[in-house]
Chains A and B, each alone.
Chain A
Amino acid sequence: MNSMAALWASIAIGGIAQILLKRGVSGRIYFSRLPSFAWWAGLLRSGWLWAWGISFVIATGLWLVALSRIEISYAFPLLSSSYVLVAVLSKWLLNESVSASRWLAMVVICAGVILIAVA
């Protein structure tokens, strides 16, 4: 597999995994400050949580494949592009309100990650 394709697939699947996780936990309300043991056990029966776990494993595998060929300093800043993917998907699929100030904060964080990577 082309290592750049593996890298982008890893980033995309890793972002989608976060959406699956949020979808999986958001239907499960708890009324105390901390969730009960039953809440945690219930997650094991959620298809969304399993989908999250499987995507997480696939994304990690693809990431390792990509890193065996690509410099880590090149791959790491690209990882921050998944913040944008998650924001777009969460607005579209989960009806999250992504305000202008949140977009701005995201751009600033991405810029900082790029600076750290090239230093």
Chain B
Amino acid sequence: MLETKVPSKPRAGLRVGLAEVALLGSIVFAASGHLLIKEGLNVAASATMHEGIWLRLLAYLGQPSVFLGLCVYGIGTLAWIFAVSKREISYLFPLTALNYVVVALGGRLLFDESIPLKRWAGILVVVCGVVLMNRSSEGGTE
């Protein structure tokens, strides 16, 4: 591997490079894409309940929010590929657990869903793990 290795020294704060920003972006875009697709499918599914499978698929893709959702999801995937090109996969992949945190917080902010105390505890534990993981990051490029 020709990647420039940053010498491993204890880091005081968090490491937030372009890769970390892209990772967060990929999580937010994937979650928003899913929400948009789901919303569009709900509309299209009730309108084409009695049609055949191909006509239904076509109707799904014709829904603006399904199409938009797929595009947003695609951008999220590109951001993920970019992040993977800059960091180790054993570091990045567990960080995708932030997805659950984003979905829970998004549900609370956008749809006023309540978060039970146990789930807050889980969110806190995931965030602690993410911070620990970030401190274990070595190498890669900025």
Contact = CB atoms under 8 A, between A and B. Distances in A.
Chains A and B come from one and the same complex: yes
Interface of A: 15, 18-19, 21-22, 25-26, 28-30, 33-35, 40, 43, 76, 80, 82-83, 86-87, 90-91, 94-99, 101-102, 104-119
Given A25-B81, A83-B94, A87-B90, A119 B2 contact: no
Contacts, number: 128
B84 A108 contact: no
B90 A21 contact: no
Interface of B: 1-3, 18, 78, 81-82, 84-85, 88-91, 93-95, 97, 100, 104, 116-119, 121-130, 132-133, 135-136, 138, 142
Given A33-B142, A90-B90, A109 B129 contact: yes
A101 B134 CA distance: 10
A106 B82 contact: no
Contacts of A112: 97, 122-129
